[in-house]
Amino acid sequence: MMLKIKEVAEWFQVTPKTIRKEIKRGNLPAVKIGSTWRINAENLKTYLEQNETSHKSLGCLPGSE
């Protein structure tokens, strides 16, 4: 599943700018399709797992504890 920046930002209650910064820094893999950035759901999951202990993640998935 491919997600838009806006969808990811809403999910984690951050601004789209925050998501774009993570993409630009190379921390969050994304692909540009036309003029829209898309984030693979599996890449997002990996990003969260890698950043879970470093406190740099965007947050946690809703419903997970």
Q: pTM higher than 0.85, yes or no?
A: no
Six-digit token string for 62: 């809703």
CA 47 from chain center: how many Å?
Answer: 7
Q: Is the pLDDT of residue 65 over 90?
A: no
- What are the residue boundaries of the structural domains of the chain, listed by start? 2-51
16 Cβ neighbours under 8 A, 6+ residues apart: 5, 6, 9
Q: What is the pLDDT of residues 19-49, one digit of tens each?
A: 999 999 999 999 999 999 999 999 999 998 8
Quote the radius of gyration of the chain (alpha carbons, Å).
11
Count other Cβ atoms within 10 Å, centred on residue 44: 21
Q: 19, 8 in Cβ contact below 8 A?
A: yes
User: Quick one: CATH architecture of 2-51?
Assistant: Alpha-Beta Complex (3.90)
